[in-house]
């Protein structure tokens, strides 16, 4: 009886191996065919991105489909960008789709550029191409590329405050990221510092939020009087502007200064 069981087990094993071999032999073969062809945007494309228009369409990317030989399956496409002239050594993914076109919003394109290390608020030369794969990752093919021009906007830290006023480079304006970002000191939780060119004899105010509308957010803010009333020691080059809003007024020489508000030590300095 034991011998019968051994023979049966051996037979089942041979059958399983035979079936697996047949599965491999009969598995459909898929090979790369023709790469996708990028159609738009082409090298005459240029755009200045802005926070105010982040939900708008920045560009419609279109391409001819890639082909693969053998049994057809889903082809996934990835829109990639890279710094011009780098041969896509470090490509950045902008979006993926199974279609042969994709509208990119201003926010999507800007995020890809900022995350890819492109210079904010300056014109950048950007290479763009399409990558196709079978399924999730199989058999990649790459399209031709075009070099476009794009100017990304700054994405401020969520924890940052803002400085707005005639004493600051952007004046009393929020348009086009005119306000000065006033970030937390790295490693701190309640100390803000920024290097800024201050204009002598002019006023400014610290704003705690920005709703990124064209008019900015003139709501939540801290003025000179707020800090005096809360017992802060304030640098002698800063005084009350006496302008009806109790803003800061900078009285030092025009130039690059380090402006710091230490909410731990309750001290405001201009170095």
DSSP 183: P
Rounded CA-CA distance 38/266 in Å is 57
CB 149 within 8 A of CB 46: yes
Sign of torsion, CA 231 232 237 242? Answer: negative
Eight-state DSSP code of residue 185: P
pLDDT value for 23: 46
Residues 6+ apart with CB under 8 A from 186: none
Q: Where are the domains of the chain?
A: 31-151, 161-270
Task: Compute the distance between CA of residue 74 and CA of residue 87 in angstroms, rounded to an integer.
Answer: 27
C-alpha span between 271 and 250 (Å, rounded): 12
pLDDT at 212: 56
pLDDT score recorded for residue 211: 60
SS3 5: helix
pLDDT 10s digits, 143-191:
999 999 999 998 888 889 999 999 999 999 887 678 899 999 989 999 9
128 has pLDDT over 70: yes
pLDDT value of position 14: 43
Nearest to 165 by CA among 234, 233, 241: 241
* Tens digit of each residue's pLDDT (9 = 90 or more) over 32-70: 999 999 999 999 999 999 888 999 999 999 999 999 988
Q: Do domains 31-151 and 161-270 have the same CATH topology?
A: yes
Spatial distance between the Cα atoms of 37 and 96, rounded to a whole number of angstroms: 16
Does residue 98 surpass a pLDDT of 70?
A: yes
Minimum mean pLDDT among 59-63, 212-216, 235-239, 259-263: which range? 212-216
Element (H, E) at 239: strand 238-240
Predicted local distance difference test score (pLDDT) of residue 17: 44
Three-class DSSP category at 140: strand
Q: What is the pTM assigned to this prediction?
A: 0.68
Cβ distance 88 to 82 under 8 Å? yes
The candidate with the shortest Cα–Cα distance to 34, out of 79, 59, 81, 66, is 66
Q: What's the CATH number of domain 161-270, 2.40.30.10, 2.60.40.3620, 3.30.365.10, 2.40.50.100? A: 2.60.40.3620
Q: Which CATH superfamily is domain 31-151 in?
A: Immunoglobulins (2.60.40.10)
């Amino acid at each position: 009886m034991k011998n019968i069981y051994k023979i049966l087990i051996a037979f089942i094993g041979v059958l399983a191996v035979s079936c697996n071999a047949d599965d491999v032999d009969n598995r459909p073969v898929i090979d790369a065919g023709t790469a996708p062809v990028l159609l738009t945007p082409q090298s005459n494309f240029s755009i200045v991105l802005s926070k105010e228009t982040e939900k708008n369409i920045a560009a419609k990317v279109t391409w001819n489909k890639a082909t693969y030989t053998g049994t057809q399956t889903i082809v996934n496409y990835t829109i990639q960008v890279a710094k011009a002239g780098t041969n896509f050594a470090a490509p950045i993914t902008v979006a993926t789709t199974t279609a042969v076109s994709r509208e990119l919003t201003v926010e999507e394109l800007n995020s890809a550029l900022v995350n890819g290390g492109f210079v904010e608020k300056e014109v950048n030369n950007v290479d763009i191409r399409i990558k196709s794969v079978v399924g999730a990752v199989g058999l990649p093919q790459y399209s031709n590329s075009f070099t476009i021009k794009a100017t990304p906007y700054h994405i401020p830290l969520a924890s940052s405050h803002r400085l707005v006023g005639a004493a600051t480079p952007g004046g009393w304006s929020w348009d086009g990221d005119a306000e000065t970002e006033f970030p937390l000191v790295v490693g701190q939780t309640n100390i803000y510092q920024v290097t800024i060119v201050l204009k002598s004899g002019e006023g400014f105010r610290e704003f705690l939020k920005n709703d990124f509308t064209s008019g900015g957010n003139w709501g939540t803010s801290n003025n000179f009087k707020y800090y005096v009333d809360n017992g802060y020691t304030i640098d002698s080059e800063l005084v009350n502007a006496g302008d009806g809003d109790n803003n800061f007024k900078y009285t030092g020489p025009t130039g690059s200064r380090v402006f710091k508000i230490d909410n731990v030590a309750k001290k405001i300095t201009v170095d």
